[in-house]
Structure 1
Amino acid sequence: MSSKRAQRYWLMKTEPDGFSIDDLARRGREPWDGVRNYQARNFMRDEMKPGDGVLIYHSACATPGVAGIAEVASDSYPDPTQFRRNSKYFDESSRPDEPRWWLVDVGFVRKLDRLIGLDELKALPALEDSPLVRRGNRLSVLPLTAAHWRAILAQEKKNP
């Protein structure tokens, strides 16, 4: 019997003015730093593993939506920005021997042929149980089921 863990799927939000799917494409791989929400941190620290699928979601922009595909490219490790006094993510309560904030590296897979907008996502029956489409959800890292992943990516080839 194999003890291999099944691949998991995630959605990670980013503001494209600060870091977009195009930035990830140029860099290839990037530490997903600056997450300062405990539930999102716990997903990265405790549940995300290399090879997991990631949908990159542009938020806080004119048309929010899924812009590309990435993958978790590292095990979790302490977010170094929490220890840098000159970082906007500095946390004076966090210590190197007891880090508060964790991250994973994310690797670029591909940019979608088109952005799949939030309005489209909200109209998908397969996503009605997803936190992504629930009003008031502010998490920057969300788990997706395999069915959510497939339903979202199936929209890429459709005309909105």
Structure 2
Amino acid sequence: MKYLDLTGLQYFYKKYIKTLGSAAKQAVANNLTTTAAGSVLDARQGKTLSDKIASETKTLNSEIKTINTSLGNIQAFAVKTVNISKPNTWEDQVIKFPKAFTKAPCVIVQAQTGQNDTSVWADAITTTQFTLKKYRPTASAFALQVIAIGL
């Protein structure tokens, strides 16, 4: 039988015992209910926690699917370039949805301009498109954010 010499013991202590620090002297809790300070969690609880996370993720994904089904669907997209041909004039532009809805959705539009007095709204909404009503005091193009929620 081999024994560790003093150098071997010092190495073992430094590498394995000292790194444990005060955790080596704490009570071990093999449950997920202990709230007492100074306890460490038993490694067997890792599997329990992993299983709970997987179960909650599965439930959450199912609920998201239910919400999407009950709402019909939600589309959010950007129109990178909205042109204005004449400043200080109301103009129309047809915007198509990336995917058709089963019923005409509720549409929210937001101009991204960095300039005051630009106005936009959605009108004549169908399952495949809407008419963007737009006004701008200048003829410079701008971007548009769209959220459409199927009902």
Task: Give TM-score, length-normalised by structure 1.
Answer: 0.28
Higher relative contact order structure (alpha carbons within 8 Å, sequence separation ≥ 6):
1
Structure with more of its chain in strand, by fraction: 2
